[in-house]
Amino acid sequence: MKALVKFCNNYQLKLVSDPTLESHDDVLVKIKTSAICRTDQYVAQGLIDCEDNRVLGHEASGTVISIGNEVNSISIDDQVIINPMKACYRCDDCLKQDYHHCSNIQFMGVDYDGTFAEYVVCPANQVYRFSDLSFEQAAYTEPIAATLAVVYSSIHDHKEASIAVVGSGRIAQLTFQILARSGYTNVQLIGLENLQKQTSEGAKFDYVVESISTPNTATEDLFSCIRLLRTAGTLILKSRNPHPVQFPTMELIKRRITIESVYYAPFDEAIHFIENNLDLIDSLIGRSYPIEDHALAFHTANQSEANKTFFIFK
């Protein structure tokens, strides 16, 4: 099959062997569409550790074409979205069947082969059936789950809290929209271009949700996020900056700031959110390209932060 694989701090289109079921719990999915995410770009650039020849990609939907002997939750021909996180099934959390909190999570398209390919194999409990969504809408589940994670933080029971979402990209916009649509009444979106001004004006929020994701300015912008908080406020870290950043520990301690990090909301909740907010999802969907047009697709994904770029498979 054709696949986009990591190669020497870049990626290349290669012909690789079709994946096959590795265990009785696996499913084989024929990919219909797979979106380009910033994580894929970081992996391709070598900013996130990944072996050469790893198939990239992790935001995908498709159709199940083969299932292992012990799979009974999923059937052949089911339309599914894929959760990229593979649990280890061995750690203390996994032994309690709390796979969501597995301490040895492997990430699709980084630690094992991903979805920029015609087929992918994964355990059946990583796929979720859908019916009334397009493949593109369904493939949006992973970024929605990553954004909806904010609602599952300590913000959860504080609908009236003053919240600033800081960032300029699509995900910052999406975070703002998700909070507004989830019943939070006092949310402000602060673009990076306005961050200094807001800080100097002495704005004070109960929560600041960091959605910066620009590696080069992250430390300075994080300081500004902290200054936007009231004493004993909470900074929620959301973006996945591959570089280490500094924290002003003296200021954090003096002002008793809490730092909380979020990763994913449950995927079934993300699907539910998509089903109820199709207008929002459709406004974020950009162009689709065949995998052969990977250079143009990556270029488009880099240029246009506003909409999501997809690979589409016949």
Q: What residue ranges bind Zn ion (CB under 5 A)?
A: 37, 39, 59, 87-88, 91, 94, 102, 104, 142
Judged by DSSP in three states, 162 sits in: coil
Q: How far is the CB of 189 from Zn ion (least distance, A)?
A: 21
Of 102 and 155, the one with the shorter C-beta distance to Zn ion is 102
How far apart (Å, rounded) are the C-alpha atoms in residues 82 and 296? 25
Of 90 and 197, the one with the shorter C-beta distance to Zn ion is 90
Q: How far is the CB of 143 from Zn ion (least distance, A)?
A: 5
Of 94 and 225, the one with the shorter C-beta distance to Zn ion is 94
Q: How far is the CB of 247 from Zn ion (least distance, A)?
A: 25
Of 91 and 180, the one with the shorter C-beta distance to Zn ion is 91
Q: How far is the CB of 277 from Zn ion (least distance, A)?
A: 18
User: Within 127-211, where are the H helices?
Assistant: 135-139, 141-148, 170-181, 192-200
Of 145 and 151, the one with the shorter C-beta distance to Zn ion is 145
Q: How far is the CB of 3 from Zn ion (least distance, A)?
A: 18
Of 59 and 221, the one with the shorter C-beta distance to Zn ion is 59
How far apart (Å, rounded) are the C-alpha atoms in residues 81 and 71? 16
The closest alpha carbon to 285, from 134, 164, 152, 102, belongs to: 134
User: Within the chain, where are the H helices?
Assistant: 38-44, 92-95, 135-139, 141-148, 170-181, 192-200, 218-227, 249-254, 267-276, 278-284, 294-303
The closest alpha carbon to 17, from 134, 119, 140, 166, belongs to: 119
- DSSP string covering 221-241, please? HHHHHHHTEEEEEEEEE-S--
Judged by DSSP in three states, 74 sits in: coil
Of 156 and 243, the one with the shorter C-beta distance to Zn ion is 243
235's tokens: 């900074």
217's tokens: 């300015």
Q: How far is the CB of 59 from Zn ion (least distance, A)?
A: 5
How far apart (Å, rounded) are the C-alpha atoms in residues 129 and 147? 20
Q: How far is the CB of 157 from Zn ion (least distance, A)?
A: 28
